[in-house]
Amino acid sequence: MLVDLVIRGGTVVTVGNMGIADIGVSNGKIVQIGGDLQGRREIDVRGKYVFPGGIDVHVHLSSPRTPGPGVETWVDDFQSGSNAAIVGGITTLGNMTFQRQDETLRDALKRDLAAAERDAGIDYILHPVLTDPSAEALAQIPELASEGHTSLKIYLVRDNFDARVDDYTRAMQLAAQSGSLTLAHCEDGGLIRSVYRDLVARGMAAPRYWPDARPDYTESVATERAIGMTRATKAPIYVVHLSSAAALASCSRARAEGLPVYVETRPLYLYLTREVFDQPDSAKYVGAPPLREQKDLRALWNGLLSGAIQCVCSDHAPWTLRQKLDPALDVRTARQGVADLETLMPMLFSEGVRKGRISLSRFVELTSTNAAKLFGMYPQKGTIAVGSDADIIVWDRDAHRTIDGASMLSKAGYSVYDGWEVIGWPLYTISRGEVIFDNGKITAQRGRGQLVRRGKTMML
Amino acid sequence: MLVDLVIRGGTVVTVGNMGIADIGVSNGKIVQIGGDLQGRREIDVRGKYVFPGGIDVHVHLSSPRTPGPGVETWVDDFQSGSNAAIVGGITTLGNMTFQRQDETLRDALKRDLAAAERDAGIDYILHPVLTDPSAEALAQIPELASEGHTSLKIYLVRDNFDARVDDYTRAMQLAAQSGSLTLAHCEDGGLIRSVYRDLVARGMAAPRYWPDARPDYTESVATERAIGMTRATKAPIYVVHLSSAAALASCSRARAEGLPVYVETRPLYLYLTREVFDQPDSAKYVGAPPLREQKDLRALWNGLLSGAIQCVCSDHAPWTLRQKLDPALDVRTARQGVADLETLMPMLFSEGVRKGRISLSRFVELTSTNAAKLFGMYPQKGTIAVGSDADIIVWDRDAHRTIDGASMLSKAGYSVYDGWEVIGWPLYTISRGEVIFDNGKITAQRGRGQLVRRGKTMML
Amino acid sequence: MLVDLVIRGGTVVTVGNMGIADIGVSNGKIVQIGGDLQGRREIDVRGKYVFPGGIDVHVHLSSPRTPGPGVETWVDDFQSGSNAAIVGGITTLGNMTFQRQDETLRDALKRDLAAAERDAGIDYILHPVLTDPSAEALAQIPELASEGHTSLKIYLVRDNFDARVDDYTRAMQLAAQSGSLTLAHCEDGGLIRSVYRDLVARGMAAPRYWPDARPDYTESVATERAIGMTRATKAPIYVVHLSSAAALASCSRARAEGLPVYVETRPLYLYLTREVFDQPDSAKYVGAPPLREQKDLRALWNGLLSGAIQCVCSDHAPWTLRQKLDPALDVRTARQGVADLETLMPMLFSEGVRKGRISLSRFVELTSTNAAKLFGMYPQKGTIAVGSDADIIVWDRDAHRTIDGASMLSKAGYSVYDGWEVIGWPLYTISRGEVIFDNGKITAQRGRGQLVRRGKTMML
Amino acid sequence: MLVDLVIRGGTVVTVGNMGIADIGVSNGKIVQIGGDLQGRREIDVRGKYVFPGGIDVHVHLSSPRTPGPGVETWVDDFQSGSNAAIVGGITTLGNMTFQRQDETLRDALKRDLAAAERDAGIDYILHPVLTDPSAEALAQIPELASEGHTSLKIYLVRDNFDARVDDYTRAMQLAAQSGSLTLAHCEDGGLIRSVYRDLVARGMAAPRYWPDARPDYTESVATERAIGMTRATKAPIYVVHLSSAAALASCSRARAEGLPVYVETRPLYLYLTREVFDQPDSAKYVGAPPLREQKDLRALWNGLLSGAIQCVCSDHAPWTLRQKLDPALDVRTARQGVADLETLMPMLFSEGVRKGRISLSRFVELTSTNAAKLFGMYPQKGTIAVGSDADIIVWDRDAHRTIDGASMLSKAGYSVYDGWEVIGWPLYTISRGEVIFDNGKITAQRGRGQLVRRGKTMML
């Protein structure tokens, strides 16, 4: 059969397959696997892995939640963010779309959608972030779900959360009834404020005390509470950027009871521990929750191995090094977040697959398939199968690289992994059948990305 | 030696002793155990148990926290409450002293102290209840502790708790620094409101749905949070009226980590389960947290046995049956609380000791010694030892009674155990050497009770 | 492309895919998915599910482990067993191959291989069962692994286990070094004998006391021990027919520590509880471990959902009803095991997928893909992918059946599910491209099955 | 009253009391506390603590279980052992009495009783050690219990255990029916042999690898099994010398289910961790189970604090340094055990009470009262109360000492704590009213000790 593109001779790896096969793509879709194929374009990928494109459902490429001093936004937009993603093997982004004070959920989505339509080089979804669970906002949840926005982000750490738990719970319930999945940032704001106050009183407010400022129990207590919201509503919950053994234990207990609790971790926690905060430039590692201890790091790897954790996403929230190291900042005002879009998949491949900690199948599951299922994009996204979007990455399993944030595409200009040696890197990134990254060169046209109209969240 | 009172020939049981001995009392103190004793008064208690007087640190004999419709108070005051206590073997009460809106902690204590001085027939302590953690209130915590009020009660379930977690945490920290113990009512108000809303929407707001209205996770989530406050402050915490296996598991995990977390349960949970809410008069069982399931009941008994639970207190909060069964009430407005002062010790002796579930030693520990230690009264109270207050009960281990609330001394006029057969009942109650209950007759003079000036909380 | 067989228009479901696609098969392999396909034979399966063929790695179709009175074997051989499997959607069998007293592991494999080559209608693997960890047997473990027998079965419940734990541990270590997976039957023989003795003394030896005779702790203690063997050796372990919440908790704790512990459950435990032992013919349910309680059943379903359990296999060990109900038998002599090959997949589909307890993806994982990976057959078996064996079942998701063991193909002649209504049943079973079950008719030639030469066990 | 001895002015501390009181003793019993007292002898102990005499129920002062090369016994007998005990504040010993090959349980007791009657300076109990659960031995268990030997020791680590679990379980059941408590050494012999074999193969058999040779899971697996025996029989079990967080977690889970599982730890584990095995003379620390890690040490202290551990006993098993450091020994043949009788109480007081980790009350409970209750000696022993034996120690809370094994009374001639500074040491030791240790001088006559005729084990 004559098709638009043939990806020939690679070792195709999905969660449920691993073998050499040719892939035929036409009109952006995978139309044939194996058999006779002729392509208008063909790429020979013998000896390479062929993975479903990465899906990073947790990035920040628009208006920030917690401005530092003055009005400022994260330094990447959909354009630079897409570029970093493309180079790193990501073909679908999930952006946190915050309401501004005068906006409804719908307004915010509209605003971000406009920006993404203008700038995004790859496909994307938008997560409406509920910052004010007003009656109007609650009413929009089912509407937006019916329009394909089947997710909702809440922050247990927000100042207004504690006083309005029941409104947030109602939001979560409405989301579930609409087939939407609720993402939850689980930290206990009240406990954190208590700790801050003590640290400030003891003269320990500098960013280097960041790990002390948000101890693991401030995470696990909030996680227990989020699970309580699931118990109250039967609504599924997706705990974002889980960082500690304690919070993971809470989620695992809940899952063992059959509750629909899903866990995402952030790459940072898999490679770094709080010891880096002894370094002079430690502020560059600030992100919430903070880095933990070796026992936590081990627990997270064990969770990837056992299936207790379902997704690894970047929580890409980029700032420049100058912004991060601003000496005026302390634990209360520090700019939270790090750039990790470009490094997400290579680091996990190198440290996980190459070092024998996780299988290739799990790698695909953690970086693509599970996210596609949970966020209503499967099997359009998240796999390599006939009928699916041809979102494919070709992976050179033997490429050696040294991480160098300065030469990467995020405007952050540095990486928390600067100097790390990794093995394995994308060779081609293909989005809906278009080769948009080709041996080191991005060819994606600005704005070519599309919003993925999503269905309901799916059981794993 | 000639003494005021000799208690002759009983089997004295304390946590660390069990044997026949004469006890000599003078000037309200135990002055001699064993040896030659002659008393101005002697009581022959051969064949009876002699226990330290019961210490019930959790009663409500003054202005209520949560008024039902209109302004109303619990139906017992220090006079009727003392009488119920005396008959039931209790010689020290711990009253929850709530601030009224225009009162400081100190004002409230002064008010309750006046009432107790006027009415109380036995000794008492007052727990200031922090309902508004204002700067003024926080400032009073160390002052009051230095005056002997070494405890502080907080309600995680209060409407203002969630928004002010850090102020409450600060209060707990100040309490700990002053040697005070923080009592915590652990239920998550936000989650409960969520559940209420759903029940109301489904037409299930009647009191018979009370157990559904405050499910176990609303307790365990708040318990985890209270433990988080202990982690943040190192302050010891005393979890009141713990009712569920889930919350007990949280506390036991914390204790296994060495945290100063103490657990009180309420007698109700040891004998009754939610099935009683199928009865037509189920509103009479309403109290927070609600009755749970068999598995919870079993977990609590196991906790008494293993030492995971340290105290059993009544949470005496009396209403008349008419008040409880008021058909206008629903889960949101129901009058919470039951009368249990008179029945606390007999029920635990009968169901616990007589049925072989706990030892005599544990019975004394749970009803007296542990509370004395935790609340800074030991060894003045909580034991039978030379130098201690002669707060002693003589227990007829073979007395058969049928519980009949109508004939008991609480003004509630009913008991949740009406009709239960118990074996074992106090024969004499002695307070500071004075026999104030003598074979069925109360002889305590109104107002003879004294405030116990307390020291710091003590490790068990 | 012209191929031998086209499976046209079905909804192909694998762990990593779900969508409508045509499948082309030639020479027993899947050669093309999607695209233009013409087949020498074509089957139209529109509206049906197309699954990877079931892999049941736990069956007994040869000489028994525990003969009842006299010399006797289970009533199915590879021929009748294959037929039951084929009708039930299974295309690969894993047989427990026991050494007879005078045989080496290799002898036993040779014997069973001869029988399978003669009789088996579908492909198979053979698990050497180590009943005597002699030096000779240990020496054969790596040899057999290198020949493609990459598994080893041990019985912690065997009389000779306890005295020779270290030899069994050594065997497990040798297996791991050879890439083999150790299957472990986890029950504590010594504790079971203790319980038996008591039951016999109390006149409670009848089969109806079977659940009392092997309580859950006899399983969980042995499971802890098997996990200890894994700790000592780093060897992966596959816990067969796990039945209880307690044993599952042990495995989950181990998995959370990153240990290579895998869990199989037996279908029986998902549908039946010990209450059926009150029935007069309760002996028909006898199998080890026994049926448990509702809480265990729930824990197992939750384990399927969360991923804590990786495989569901039948442990098909068939006896006739007359044999099972032999009145001469008691708990010590009862014939253990039930027939479940034909019902394995339909019951799990009907009770699991149709009732919304597990996803289609999990169904495939539990019945096929995970077993293929763990037992070194992936991706030859366990998926639908180009290059894989064309072991495929076409599933009529709406077929209604009433289970009737008398009309099924196992010689057992009854089913423990007799009378259950199920929805969903295989329509076609295809083995290496050959349609061997076609609308109710088996067309497999006796002996057409082949031994699968296996590679090393693979991480999930 | 005129009495034999008055202990005047000390601060008497029991589990249920703490206060200044005079104690009057006559005929070896406490006859009066407080009141007027005149003594034929009086000792002024103002400013000192007065504790119940220590009860160390786990010592080895007779024929050894595991001879090293040749026939040899531990180096202390009842005489030197008593002396070490007296100086260290112990007034009652519990000796492990092993059957020799040709002895019955009764024979062994008779033999040890003769030795103790000849040599012991303080009171004692003897634990028959069941090394061969023959019919004859089982028959003696109830007989011996009726004669006051209400305990039985079993070793799960013994070579013959695994093959005879059911006989040992039967023994435990018979013990329970007779009111006896079963002490269990919980290590899994089979797993340990597996680990030994590996270490030997890797050239790591030297004593310095001792902690590697018996990893924590070899303890926790056996502990789970012992708990299984309790489940099977309802018999209480007393887990001796528990060393690891894992095994403690097993026991705590069991206790939370209401099972009669009691835990003893050995002092060693509270102060030392496996790091000491890096020292050249590390063989001196060899004892089973081995030293563990910081996390285990912390878990044990937390267990003392929370009540999860009930007793601290020495497991005094003395060898000379020359014997311990014999270069011919390896992990298989090393002489297990250390001398700790004299240091048991001072170390726990200094490291526990003085450092604020446990209360005085808990100190008494752990070193005396709980053991008295569990082993059927309460209230004759284990407390300071009228009617109890006058086994009393007067403790100088401020005495500073440096541990120096060479000058101590055990023939071991060294201490594992050599060089540690401790605060607090016994000033007087009084046994049945006789002052047998008086300001540094032992005055006990050889052979004055008596066998304690015991009653049934008692709930705590």
What is the distance between the alpha carbons of residues A164 and A100, in angstroms, rounded to a whole number?
19
Contact call for A193 and B231, based on CB within 8 A: no
Per-residue three-class SS string for A324-369: HCCCCCCCCCCCCCECCCCCHHHHHHHHHHCCCCCCHHHHHHHHHH
A21 in C contact zone (CB under 8 Å) = yes
Per-residue pLDDT, D67: 42
What is the distance between the alpha carbons of residues C369 and C353, in angstroms, rounded to a whole number?
16
Q: Is B234 helix (H, G, I), strand (E, B) or coil?
A: coil
- Separation in Å, CA of B56 to nearest CA in chain D: 18
Structural domain includes residue D77: yes
Closest chain C residue to the Cα of A353, Cα to Cα:
C459
Per-residue pLDDT, D63: 65
What is the distance between the alpha carbons of residues A214 and A217, in angstroms, rounded to a whole number?
8
Residues of D in contact with B383 (CB under 8 A): 16-17
Q: Is the pTM of this model over 0.95?
A: yes
Question: What are the structure tokens assigned to D254, written together?
Answer: 């069991």
What is the number of other CB atoms lying within 10 angstroms of the CB of residue B179? 18
Cα C20 to Cα C9, C10, C37, C269: the distances in Å are 6, 6, 14, 34
Q: What is the DSSP letter of C338?
A: B
Chains touching D (3+ CB pairs < 8 Å): B, C
Contact call for B197 and A170, based on CB within 8 A: yes
pLDDT class for C64, splitting at 50, 70, 90? Answer: low
The torsion of the CA quartet D37, D43, D49, D53, rounded to 10 degrees, works out to -90
Residues of C in contact with D227 (CB under 8 A): 217, 221
Please list, in sequence order, all residues whose beta carbon lies within 8 angstroms of the beta carbon of residue D113, skipping any fewer than 6 positions away.
Answer: D126, D451
Give me the domain span that covers residue C276: 53-374
Per-residue pLDDT, A68: 42
Per-residue pLDDT, A69: 46
User: Residue D62 pLDDT > 90, yes or no?
Assistant: no
The torsion of the CA quartet A298, A303, A304, A305, rounded to 10 degrees, works out to 90
Alpha carbon D208 to chain centroid distance?
Answer: 25
The torsion of the CA quartet C364, C367, C372, C375, rounded to 10 degrees, works out to 150
Per-residue pLDDT, A71: 55
Question: What are the structure tokens assigned to B424, written together?
Answer: 């074992």
Site from A38, A373, A386 to mutate, C interface, most C CB atoms within 10 angstroms: A386
Structural domain includes residue B406: no
Q: What is the mean pLDDT of residues A429-441?
A: 96
CA-derived radius of gyration, chain A: 21
Residues C123-181: tens digit of each pLDDT: 999 999 999 999 999 999 999 999 999 999 999 999 899 889 999 999 999 999 999 99
What is the number of other CB atoms lying within 10 angstroms of the CB of residue B355? 11
Q: What is the mean pLDDT of residues C220-225?
A: 98
Sheet containing strand C151-155, edge to edge, reads C54-59, C90-98, C123-129, C151-155, C181-185, C237-242, C261-265, C311-312
**H-assigned helices in B286-365:** 294-306, 321-324, 344-348, 360-364
Nearest to B195 among A161, A227, A232 (CB): A232
Per-residue pLDDT, B373: 98
Q: Residue A403 burial (CB < 10 Å; 0-12/13-18/19+)?
A: buried
Per-residue pLDDT, C67: 42
Task: Specify the pairing of strand D441-442 against strand D434-438.
Answer: antiparallel
Alpha carbon C147 to chain centroid distance?
Answer: 22
CATH code for position A72: 3.20.20.140
Closest chain A residue to the Cα of B171, Cα to Cα:
A194
D402 in C contact zone (CB under 8 Å) = no
Give chain D's end-to-end CA distance (angstroms, integer): 34
Structural domain includes residue A192: yes
Question: What are the structure tokens assigned to D10, written together?
Answer: 């000390």
Nearest to B162 among A165, A195, A217 (CB): A165
A235 closest CA partner among A289, A176, A188: A176
Residues C23-39: tens digit of each pLDDT: 999 999 999 999 999 99
Contact call for D224 and C229, based on CB within 8 A: no
Contact call for C225 and D229, based on CB within 8 A: no
C222 closest CA partner among C252, C202, C199, C242: C242
What is the number of other CB atoms lying within 10 angstroms of the CB of residue D201? 9
Counting one residue from chain B and one from chain D, the pairs whose CB atoms sit within 8 A come to 176
Per-residue pLDDT, B99: 86
Structural domain includes residue D36: no
Cα C148 to Cα C109, C142, C168, C179, D415: the distances in Å are 12, 10, 21, 10, 57
Nearest to A31 among C35, C256, C306 (CB): C35
Nearest to A166 among B161, B193, B233 (CB): B193
User: Residue C392 pLDDT > 70, yes or no?
Assistant: yes
Structural domain includes residue A166: yes
Structural domain includes residue C259: yes
Closest chain A residue to the Cα of B166, Cα to Cα:
A194
Per-residue pLDDT, B63: 65
CB contact at 8 A, C53 and C385: no
What is the distance between the alpha carbons of residues C258 and C271, in angstroms, rounded to a whole number?
30
Cα A412 to Cα A95, A405, A409, B271, D185: the distances in Å are 17, 8, 8, 63, 60
Residues of C in contact with D193 (CB under 8 A): 165-166
The dihedral of CA B5, B11, B14, B18: what is its sign?
Answer: positive
- Separation in Å, CA of C194 to nearest CA in chain D: 5
User: Residue C70 pLDDT > 70, yes or no?
Assistant: no
| Ramachandran category for residue C207: left, alpha or beta (phi over 0 → left; psi -120 to 50 → alpha) | alpha
What is the distance between the alpha carbons of residues B381 and B393, in angstroms, rounded to a whole number?
13
Q: What share of chain C is helix, strand, coil (3-state, %, to 5)?
A: 35, 25, 40
User: Residue C369 pLDDT > 80, yes or no?
Assistant: yes
- Separation in Å, CA of D318 to nearest CA in chain B: 32
Residues of B in contact with A246 (CB under 8 A): none
CB contact at 8 A, B233 and B169: yes
Residues of A in contact with B215 (CB under 8 A): 231-232
Residues C228-274: tens digit of each pLDDT: 999 999 999 999 999 999 999 999 999 999 999 999 999 999 999 99
- Separation in Å, CA of A423 to nearest CA in chain C: 20
- Written as one letter, the residue type at B381 is K
Per-residue pLDDT of chain B (460 residues; tens, 9 = 90+): 899 999 999 999 999 999 999 999 999 999 999 999 999 999 999 999 999 999 999 999 986 555 444 557 899 999 999 999 999 999 999 999 998 888 899 999 999 999 999 999 999 999 999 999 999 999 999 999 999 999 999 999 998 998 899 999 999 999 999 999 999 999 999 999 999 999 999 999 999 999 999 999 999 999 999 999 999 999 999 999 999 999 999 999 999 999 999 999 999 999 999 999 999 999 999 999 999 999 999 999 999 999 999 999 999 999 999 999 999 999 999 999 999 999 999 999 999 999 999 999 999 999 999 999 999 999 999 999 999 999 999 999 999 999 999 999 999 999 999 999 999 999 999 999 999 999 899 999 999 999 999 999 999 9
A218 in B contact zone (CB under 8 Å) = yes
Which of these ranges, A259-273, C97-111, C204-218, has the smallest mean pLDDT? Answer: C97-111
Nearest to B383 among D16, D302, D364 (CB): D16
Residues A72-109: tens digit of each pLDDT: 789 999 999 999 999 999 999 999 999 888 889 999 99
Question: What are the structure tokens assigned to A298, written together?
Answer: 């081990």
**Locate tokens 């080089």: which residue?**
A121
Task: Specify the pairing of strand B29-34 against strand B123-129.
Answer: unpaired
| Ramachandran category for residue D430: left, alpha or beta (phi over 0 → left; psi -120 to 50 → alpha) | beta
**Locate tokens 């200044």: which residue?**
D20
CB contact at 8 A, B224 and A220: yes
What is the helix (H) or strand (E) element at residue D152, kind and residue range? Answer: strand D151-155
B426 in D contact zone (CB under 8 Å) = no
Mean pLDDT of chain D: 96
C460 in A contact zone (CB under 8 Å) = yes
pLDDT class for D71, splitting at 50, 70, 90? Answer: low
Nearest to A225 among B163, B221, B232 (CB): B221
Q: List the Cα angle D59/D184/D383 in 5-degree steps.
A: 55
Question: How many independent structural domains does chain A possess?
Answer: 1
- Separation in Å, CA of A10 to nearest CA in chain C: 12
What is the distance between the alpha carbons of residues B418 and B403, in angstroms, rounded to a whole number?
5
What is the distance between the alpha carbons of residues B232 and C269, in angstroms, rounded to a whole number?
45
Q: List the Cα angle C2/C6/C10 in 5-degree steps.
A: 145
D136 in B contact zone (CB under 8 Å) = no
Task: Specify the pairing of strand D49-52 against strand D11-14.
Answer: parallel
Q: What is the DSSP letter of B418?
A: T
CB contact at 8 A, C273 and C292: yes
Structural domain includes residue C76: yes
Structural domain includes residue D138: yes
Between D70 and B228, name the one with better pLDDT. B228
User: Residue C68 pLDDT > 50, yes or no?
Assistant: no
Question: What are the structure tokens assigned to A188, written together?
Answer: 């206990």
User: Residue C63 pLDDT > 90, yes or no?
Assistant: no
D228 in C contact zone (CB under 8 Å) = yes
Contact call for A378 and C18, based on CB within 8 A: yes
Contact call for C386 and A1, based on CB within 8 A: no
Per-residue pLDDT, D65: 53
Question: What are the structure tokens assigned to D272, written together?
Answer: 């030392």
Chains touching C (3+ CB pairs < 8 Å): A, D
Q: Any bridge partners for residue D128, and if so which?
A: D97
Q: Is A154 helix (H, G, I), strand (E, B) or coil?
A: strand
Per-residue pLDDT, C29: 98
The dihedral of CA A115, A119, A125, A129: what is its sign?
Answer: negative
Per-residue pLDDT, D238: 98
- Separation in Å, CA of C209 to nearest CA in chain A: 29
What is the helix (H) or strand (E) element at residue C98, kind and residue range? Answer: strand C90-98
User: Residue A65 pLDDT > 80, yes or no?
Assistant: no
